[in-house]
Each structure stands twice: as C-alpha cells, then as structure tokens.
Amino acid sequence: MSAIIDDPGITFHTMQESDLPAVMEIERSAYEFCWTEGIFRDCMRVGYQCRLMFSGDELAGYGVMSVAAGEAHVLNVCVRPELQGRGHGRRIMQHLIDLASRLHTDTLLLEVRPSNVPAIRLYESMGFNQVGIRKDYYPARDGREDALIFAMSLSQA
C-alpha cells in the first residue's frame, strides 16, 4: 500500500486564495451539497490546514483539517470525480494523518454520511473507528442525513 501513498508524481501544497476557482470546480462537481467559496476562505483565514493534492500538474483533490487543543478534525476531503477510485482519497487522508501527527495531536476526528459507503470503507481500512452519530447533521435531498463520527488515536497511528 505504501506504493500508492509514495507516488513521486503526487505533491501537496497549501491552498491559497488564487486556488479557489479550481477548488470550487471540483467541489461543485463532486457534491450535491457543497461548501461555498466563503467557507474555504474562512478556513484559510483562521489557519486551518487547507491542503491541495496534485497529480503531476493536475489538481486532483484537497483536504481541510482544523487543529486545536491536541485534536484534529478532518472537515472536507474531496477528489476530482473523474479521478476517484485511484487511491487519491487514501493519499489525501494519509497526508492529513501525517500532518496531524507532526502537529502533536492525539486524536483525529471526522464525520461521514452513512450513505457514503466507499468513504466509510476507506476510513475503517486506515484505522478509524466509529465513535458516535450526529443526528440530522447533513442536508439531504429528502430532509437531513445523520453523520457517523469516526476517530483515530494518533498515538497508535
């Protein structure tokens, strides 16, 4: 699996304001209920870890993570839809896990829709465990959808 993670064509960069048009293009194509440009701007403004993943020269995806009081929280992970299924989600998550560890956090948290089975499988395969449920967390076509809360202890990662 490390061959997937250690692809020399993959690079990570910190998201900048000038990256937002490309980020929004991916966000809108990947999610029915997507983040706004303002949300991304706010995340950068308050110092969240906003990271872009490039495959060669192509923006393949991104991740956003907050870090505070020894805890990291993955807020958004997205891969360009036409590049999904190639290990890019795993690469972004591993990058965020490594970054959270370097920032001396003990726990990494995230929420995921119960309907997002591929993401749940990815998180479980990387060592996350479900620790709770947030009722009616996400907007959905027919009202609201719960969020499954997953956590990983970074002292064991």
Cα 97–Cα 56–Cα 99 angle in degrees, nearest 5: 15
**Phi, psi for 31 (deg, rounded to 5):** -125, 135
- Helix, strand, or coil here: 138? strand
Q: Would residue 31 show up in a list of annotated catalytic residues for this protein?
A: no
Of 123, 137, 138, 145, which one is the catalytic site residue?
A: 123
Q: Give the burial string for 15-40 (b: 16+ CB within 10 Å, else e).
A: beeebbeebeebbeeeeeeebeeeeb
Please list the residues that pair with 111 across neighbouring strands: 149
Q: Which residue among 71, 111, 137, 138 is the active-site one?
A: 111
Active site residues: 111, 123
